[in-house]
Amino acid sequence: MSSADISEWKGEDIVIFQEALLHQVKGQISTKWFYTHMKSSSKSLPRIDVLNMLSQFVEYDNWADFLHRNSNKKKSKRNKITSLFIFLLVPVLIWSIPNFISSKDTFYTISIIDFDTNEPPENPIEFELLKPDESSQKITTDSLGQLVLPVNEALNTLVIQSPYYKKDTLQRKIMNEGGEIFKVKTDDYALMVHYFSKSKVKDWKRRRRMLAKIFHNEAEIIEVYKGTYGIEKYTKQEFINKITMPLTSLKTLEVIDTQRQGGKIIKMRVAQQ
C-alpha cells in the first residue's frame, strides 16, 4: 500500500481494498462510503452490517464478537469503532492485501459507463455471464458500476439484461488482470414508457403521438401483477390510453423486457412499482 495510514488511501489503494473485501467475504463498500467514514471528520457511524463485514474480513464472527474480544468496556462507542479501524483493521490490511494481490486469484474489472453521460449508471445493471460447458450465471454491477471477473482462459460472454439499456454483448478471454471500460446505450423507448407513467399529463395529445410512433401496430403489452400470477394484456391503443389518462390508480410502470420488430416495440412486459 502507499501508506500504512488508512485515511491516506486513495485511488488504486481503495480499489484494491474493495477487491479484497469482495474476494474474502463477498462484501462491498462504495468509494463514497470510504471517504465518508475513513477520510473525513464526520461523526456518522457505519451501519452494523458494514461493521459485521469488516469484522469478518479480519477473521471475527461479527462486530459483537470483535467488541467482546477486543474492546475495553470503559471506552466510548466512538473509540471502539476507531479501535477497529486503527488498532486492528489497518495492520491486518497491510498483511492481507499484498497476499491477496500475490495469490493465484487475480481479477479483471469491467467499468460500465452510460454512453450518453459518460458516468456509471445510477442503478445496478444485470448481465448474464456465459462460459463454455458451464451454466449461465447472473451478475450485477456493484455500487461503482463495475463487474469484477476472475482471470481465466475461458471465453467469457456477457449479455446485458437491463430493460432500460439496449441489448449488447461483450466477449473476452481474460488472460491477465487489469480492466477496461464498456459503454452501454439507453433504450429510449423503455425509458419513455417509464417516464410517461410517472409524470403528470400536460400535453396529452403530443404524448399520445409519441407513444404511437414507438409501438408497432400489432404490439402486445402484458402487465404482470407482482406477488400474484395475474396478468393483463393490452393492445397498442389500449395501453396508450392507460398511461395517458389522468388516473390516480396508475403507479409508475417498471419495464421488464421488450421485443422489437421493424425498429418498433412489438412486445413489452411491464409491472407497477
Tens-place pLDDT, residues 175-185: 777 788 889 99
Q: CA nearest 59: which of 86, 96, 87?
A: 96
Does 20 score more than 50 pLDDT? yes
Rounded average pLDDT over 246-250: 60
Which DSSP string do the residues of 81-101 spell out, in sequence order?
HHIIIIIIIHHHHHHHHHHHH
Instruction: Give all domains of the chain, ordered by start, each with its CATH number.
Output: 6-102 (no CATH), 107-184 (2.60.40.1120), 188-272 (no CATH)
Full DSSP string of 65-79: HHHHHH--TTS-HHH
When comparing pLDDT for 75 and 177, which is higher? 177
Q: What pLDDT does 233 receive?
A: 92
Q: What angle do CA 122, 124, 127 make, to 5 degrees?
A: 135
pLDDT for position 1: 52
Q: Within 10 A of 76 (CB to CB), how many other CB atoms are there?
A: 8
- What is the separation, in whole angstroms, between the first and last Cα of the chain? 45
User: What are the tens digits of pLDDT across the range 44-67?
Assistant: 677 787 888 888 888 888 888 888
* pTM flag (> 0.85): no
Q: Which of 154-158, 202-206, 261-265 has the lowest mean pLDDT?
A: 202-206
The pLDDT tens digits of the residues spanning 205-224 come to: 888 899 999 999 999 999 98
More confident residue, 237 or 33: 237
Please compute the mean of the pLDDT values over residues 75-98 and round it to a whole number: 53
Q: What are phi and psi of 55, to 5 degrees?
A: -65, -40
The pLDDT of residue 83 is above 70 = no
